[in-house]
């Protein structure tokens, strides 16, 4: 049960002036214009206040009665959600105050009357969606600063303006068709100042395109390990890949190696329970990321560190849809990178510091945070980590990369949702003559239905701005990489969606090397050749949907 207390000031009945202020607080934080007193009064008077005394059965709040009122408001006014948003959230506040938010939302989303507003989903996915929805609402209300005693997130427009100011304070300006700023040591120093991580020479870096390449490399590295195996992953699945990986980790533990697995503490309550238990029962230490001060944050970073000498990072979790080992399972398109050199020491530091953050509370052995990783080649690289409770280092470095582009930007990202600064940066790149090409999921390939309309809207925006945009066909795209000017490439776990900034810990490998960038551009060319190019936003099939309206207004940070 979601344990968030809605602010009684926010959702309780009150004077009209207070209600106007509450409505405008929601609107401004969601990037919409504030209403005048007259407009707000008209909105409030258009829909009668819900009679809360009618929502109890023998003094107990009734989820069905509350849900029926919410369903009535949505289905009667699907094209005018701005008129009913306040009574809807007042009803949700009443439900939560009485400990009935979860069953109320489940009742609403399971109603046949609401089915037309939900995308077609397999039964298991629909249930997963329904269970997560109340948590997302509560997280957004806390993040928006609408709950007493919590500090809200910085407004998207304010944050974007501040980030753009940082970019434009550069001493260097990209000129179309001119030399790439990634070959300018001064510009690179500015990027290093943003991330806090220097580019270092001494690396070998190999792209791992799709599961078979990545999981073959993982198996080879783990089998040859002689000292330690540290695996951090968002999701660990109880499937063939999970079993094979589990058995190998247990075998290496029995050989006497230090073997540790770190997973996201929330998602591990839903998947991988059997494998994680068996790992722990056989001596493999299993940590679950959890920050009690930020209970909605997650660990989305993926990294495998072997003997302090080699590492893999990227988008892949431990499961069949990533590895392609099970011929009967889905085969997602994803990308990892194998690297050796100084950045491996940074990978070890990221893993160990995250591990030590939960070790004491979970009875785990703490780790040393520093290792000396030997040089392994001539490539310059930097491993960048992003925490949701700090400035978004990865996102700022990607903005810096976009502002440094002089010829081309290629973005392949599973969940491409434009926040204001991203839209501004890409639009300005296009205006100065940079070719911007974007590949993301289509409505058919996207595995996260709540994101679909926002991805499609973002593609439409960038198409209108002059970008070349493509939508994946067939299986889901889970890959996250970008190339700039054929010089810079980045591969990691970071998605271009709000949640990666607001709630996730992420990691990405920045690489300065024409050969590696060329390999990534070749993979990108192969991917867009199999995708659908969007030349008219009408091809995206965007439709009005009251649930999308509520999601944009009150759950944008969770997307």
In a domain, 115, yes or no: yes
Categorize the per-residue pLDDT at 4 as very low, low, confident or very high, splitting at 50, 70 and 90: very low
Residue 146: per-residue pLDDT: 59
Same domain, 166 and 139: no
Q: Contact 102/134 with Cβ under 8 angstroms?
A: yes
Cα 205 from Cα 196, distance rounded (Å)? 21
Cα 238 to Cα 77: distance, rounded to the nearest angstrom: 43
Residues 103, 54 share a domain:
yes
| Percent of the chain residues topping a pLDDT of 70 | 86
Q: Which of 487, 546, 510 is CA-nearest to residue 181?
A: 487
The structure's pTM equals 0.86
With a CB cutoff of 8 Å and minimum separation 6, the contacts of 54 are 65
Whether residue 459 is found in the same domain as residue 507: yes
Three-state secondary-structure class, residue 313: strand
Residue 1 placed within a domain: no
Query: Does residue 422 lie in a domain region?
Result: yes
| 361 CB-contact burial (10 Å; exposed 0-12 / middle 13-18 / buried 19+) | exposed
Strand pairing class (408-413; 488-492): unpaired
Q: Give the lowest-confidence range in 22-26, 262-266, 354-358, 518-522.
A: 22-26
Span 182-195, pLDDT tens digits: 999 999 999 999 99
CATH number at residue 282: 3.30.870.10
Q: Is the pLDDT of residue 5 over 60?
A: no
Segment (H or E) for 249: helix 240-254
User: Is the pLDDT confidence value at 534 over 50?
Assistant: yes
Q: Give the residues across from 383 on adjacent strands.
A: 509
Q: Is the pLDDT of residue 24 over 70?
A: no
534 lies in the same domain as 419: yes
Contacts of 535 (CB under 8 A, 6+ apart): 463
* Alpha-carbon gap, residue 488 to 84, rounded angstroms: 48
Indicate if 220 and 270 belong to the same structural domain. yes
- DSSP 3-state assignment of 484? strand
* Residue 290 shares a structural domain with residue 385: no
> Which residues form the domain of 41?
8-152
Looking at the domain assignment, is residue 2 inside a domain?
Answer: no
**pLDDT, tens only, 92-114:** 778 877 878 788 888 998 899 98
Q: Rounded to the nearest 5°, which phi and psi values hold at 169?
A: -80, 0
Cβ atoms of 273 and 243 within 8 Å: the answer is no
Ranked by mean pLDDT, the top range of 69-78, 209-218, 536-545, 546-555 is 209-218
**CA–CA separation, 100 and 311 (whole Å):** 46
User: Do both 254 and 366 map to the same domain?
Assistant: yes
Contact indicator for 311, 231 with CB cutoff of 8 Å: no
pLDDT tens for 239-259 read 999 999 999 999 999 999 999
Torsion of CA 398, 151, 82, 41, to 10 degrees: -140
Question: Hey, what long-range contacts does 276-285 have (CB within 8 A, 24 or more apart)?
Answer: 276/236, 278/246, 278/250, 279/246, 279/249, 279/250, 282/250, 282/253, 282/254, 283/250, 283/253, 283/254, 283/259, 284/249, 284/250, 284/253, 284/259, 284/260, 285/259, 285/260, 285/261, 285/364, 285/365
**17 half-sphere exposure, CB direction, 13 A CA radius:** 0
Distance CA 208, CA 212 (A): 8
DSSP assignment letter at 541? -
Q: Alpha-carbon dihedral of residues 153, 141, 553, 289, nearest 10 degrees? A: 70
Q: Which residues pair with 496 in a beta bridge?
A: none
Residue 337 lies in a domain: no
Residues 6+ apart with CB under 8 A from 53: none
Question: Under 8 Å CB-to-CB from 269, ≥6 apart: which residues?
Answer: none
Q: Are residues 534 and 410 in the same domain?
A: yes
| Angstrom distance (rounded) from CA 103 to CA 67 | 9
Q: Are residues 269 and 327 in the same domain?
A: yes
Beta strand spans in 144-227 (E): 200-209
Same domain membership, residue 298 and residue 255: yes
Question: What pLDDT sits at residue 541?
Answer: 79
Strands (E) located in 414-467: 435-440
Beta strands in 186-328 (DSSP E): 200-209, 228-233, 258-264, 285-289, 298-299, 303-306, 310-314
The radius of gyration of the chain from alpha carbons, rounded to an integer in Å, stands at: 24
**Among 396, 305, 318, 397, CA closest to 353:** 305
Residue 366 has phi, psi (to 5 degrees) of -65, 165
Domain contains 66? yes
Do 120 and 82 sit in the same domain of this protein? Answer: yes
Does residue 296 contact residue 139 with C-beta atoms inside 8 Å? yes
Backbone angles phi, psi at 246, to 5 degrees: -60, -45
For residue 304, which of 247, 241, 228, 252 has the smallest C-alpha distance? 228
Q: What is the pLDDT of residues 405-444, one digit of tens each?
A: 999 999 999 999 999 999 999 999 999 999 999 999 999 9
Q: How many domains does the chain have?
A: 3
Q: Answer yes or no: do 521 and 459 share one domain.
A: yes
């Amino acid at each position: 049960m979601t344990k968030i207390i809605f602010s009684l000031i926010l959702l309780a009945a009150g004077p009209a002036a207070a209600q106007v202020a509450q409505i405008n607080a929601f609107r401004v934080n969601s990037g919409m214009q504030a209403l005048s007193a007259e407009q707000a009064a008209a909105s409030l008077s258009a829909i009668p206040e819900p009679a809360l005394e009618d929502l109890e059965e023998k003094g107990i709040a009734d989820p069905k009665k509350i849900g029926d009122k919410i369903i009535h408001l949505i289905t009667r006014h699907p094209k005018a959600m701005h008129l009913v948003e306040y009574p809807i959230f007042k009803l949700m506040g009443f439900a939560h105050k009485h400990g009935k938010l979860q069953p109320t939302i489940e009742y609403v989303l399971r109603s046949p009357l609401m089915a037309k507003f939900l995308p077609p989903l397999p039964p298991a996915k629909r249930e997963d969606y329904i269970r997560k929805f109340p948590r997302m609402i509560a997280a957004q209300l806390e993040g928006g600063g609408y709950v007493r005693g919590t500090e809200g997130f910085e407004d998207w427009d304010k944050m974007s303006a501040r980030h753009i100011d940082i970019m434009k304070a550069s001493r260097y300006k990209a000129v179309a068709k001119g030399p790439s700023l990634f070959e300018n040591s001064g510009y690179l120093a500015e990027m290093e100042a943003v991330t806090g991580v220097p580019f270092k020479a001494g690396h070998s870096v190999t792209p791992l395109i799709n599961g078979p390449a990545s999981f073959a490399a993982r198996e080879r590295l783990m089998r040859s390990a002689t000292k330690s195996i540290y695996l951090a992953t968002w999701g660990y699945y109880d499937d063939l890949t999970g079993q094979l990986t589990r058995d190998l980790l247990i075998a290496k533990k029995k050989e006497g190696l230090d073997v540790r697995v770190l997973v996201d503490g929330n998602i591990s309550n839903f998947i991988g329970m059997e494998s994680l238990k068996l790992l722990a029962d056989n001596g493999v230490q299993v940590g679950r990321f959890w920050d009690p001060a930020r209970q909605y944050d997650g660990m989305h970073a993926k990294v495998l560190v072997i003997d302090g000498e080699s590492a893999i990072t990227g988008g892949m979790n431990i499961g069949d849809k990533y590895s392609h080992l099970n011929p009967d399972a889905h085969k997602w398109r994803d990308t990892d990178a194998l690297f050796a050199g100084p950045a491996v020491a940074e990978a070890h530091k990221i893993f160990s510091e995250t591990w030590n953050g939960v070790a004491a509370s979970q009875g785990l052995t703490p780790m040393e945070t520093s290792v000396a990783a030997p040089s392994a080649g001539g490539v310059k690289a930097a491993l960048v980590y992003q925490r949701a409770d700090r400035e978004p280092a990865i996102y700022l470095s990607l903005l810096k990369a976009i502002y440094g582009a002089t010829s081309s930007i290629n973005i392949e990202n599973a969940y491409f949702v434009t926040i204001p600064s991203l839209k501004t940066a890409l639009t300005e790149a296009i205006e100065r003559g940079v070719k911007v090409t974007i590949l993301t999921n289509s409505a058919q390939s996207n595995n996260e239905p709540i994101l679909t309309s926002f991805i499609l809207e973002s593609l439409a925006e960038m198409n209108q701005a002059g970008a070349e945009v493509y939508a994946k066909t067939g299986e889901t795209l889970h890959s996250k990489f970008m190339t700039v000017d054929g010089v810079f490439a980045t591969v990691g776990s970071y998605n271009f969606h709000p949640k990666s900034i607001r709630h996730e810990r992420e990691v990405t490998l920045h690489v300065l090397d024409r050969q590696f960038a060329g390999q990534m551009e070749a993979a990108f060319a192969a991917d867009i050749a199999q995708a659908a190019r969007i030349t008219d936003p009408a091809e995206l099939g965007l439709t009005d949907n009251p649930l999308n309206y509520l999601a944009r207004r009150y759950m944008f940070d969770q997307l």
